[in-house]
Amino acid sequence: MRVLLINGNTSESITQALLAEAQRNAAPDTVVFAAKCTRGAEVIASRSAEVVAAHAMLEAIAAVKEPYDAVLVGISYDTAVAALRELLSVPVVGMTEAACHVATMVGSRFGVVLPGARNAAFYRERIVGCGFEPRLAGMRVVGSSAAALYADPDSSLELIRNASQALVSEERCDSLVLAGAALVGLHRQIQPDIPVPVIDGIACGVGMLESLVRLNFPKPQAGSYATPAPARLDHIDPVLADLFSHPAGQQS
């Protein structure tokens, strides 16, 4: 099985951190490889930057020549997940939706720790869009931004640990999601101090994709995720234009 991890940020260090976490949690027979956007924000922190990232992600996916059986979207806004499900014939999972799914499987109500106050609205919208709002107990913001937390991981750990403990004691959460690609892998370091499961979206996303590939559901032939009719798009990257001309993407 081959899983393609796509990072909507242009940061090479975050891409490698996401890839390392995905590979750490993959089954022995699963190969995970990564692609990242070559244009856009180094760390996305606004709605406008996310729009640029969505376009860049479609370009990056269209340019991948290696075969793959599934796509893991390694940006915590789950950018372009719906578009990729529509265009590709393989399973596509976003890291935040994966984490929230697992959070509701191991507890009744979950909390979210996220970087930067500006991001709180984006994450809430994603959680609501996935249908999890009734199970969301609360959110806590840590740090001024994702970039700031990623630049100072030692300080980040203490902030994340304190926010997690507050969610458990004050909101009575049964599980916690660490949101944000910049926080990938930190769940292992704080879990010993937190009395409920601490959940990482990349780890969950890999496991979900492995299950979906083995279940081998067909590509929908009806509904909003059915393959769209071929479309001509002018003045865009030729590889992306080709994907729109021949939707349903590639696979192994």
| Higher pLDDT, residue 46 or 21 | 21
Calculate helix-pair angle for 95-106, 120-129, nearest 10 degrees: 70
Calculate helix-pair angle for 238-245, 47-63, nearest 10 degrees: 80
| C-alpha span between 140 and 160 (Å, rounded) | 9
pLDDT > 90: what percent of the chain? 73
Average pLDDT for 228-238: 88
Closest by Cα among 164, 205, 209 to 186: 164
- Residue 252: its pLDDT value, please? 56
Strand segments, DSSP code E, in 116-166 are 136-142
Residues in the chain, overall count: 252
- Residue 251: its pLDDT value, please? 56
**What is the pLDDT confidence band of residue 231, given thresholds at 50, 70 and 90?**
confident
- Scanning 11-94, the segments in alpha helix (DSSP H) are 12-25, 47-63, 81-87
DSSP state of 138: E
Closest by Cα among 62, 57, 72 to 18: 72
| C-alpha span between 114 and 118 (Å, rounded) | 10
- Inter-residue contact 1 to 33 (CB < 8 Å): no
| Higher pLDDT, residue 162 or 252 | 162
What is the number of helices (H) and of strands (E) in the chain?
10, 8
Averaged pLDDT score across all residues of the chain: 92
Closest by Cα among 76, 67, 95 to 207: 95
Residue ranges and CATH numbers for the domains of the chain are: 2-95+205-245 (3.40.50.12500), 96-200 (3.40.50.12500)
Q: Which residue has the tokens 């709002």?
A: 133
Average pLDDT for 166-185: 94
- Residue 30: its pLDDT value, please? 98
Q: Residues 190, 193, 195, 198: what is their CA dihedral angle, to the nearest 10 degrees?
A: 0
Average pLDDT for 208-237: 93
Helix, strand, or coil (residue 58):
helix
Residue 144 has pLDDT above 90, yes or no: no
Q: How far apart are the first and last CA of the chain?
A: 8
- Residue 2: its pLDDT value, please? 98
| C-alpha span between 178 and 211 (Å, rounded) | 22
- Residue 18: its pLDDT value, please? 95
Lowest average pLDDT, out of 11-20, 28-37, 148-157, 168-177, goes to 148-157
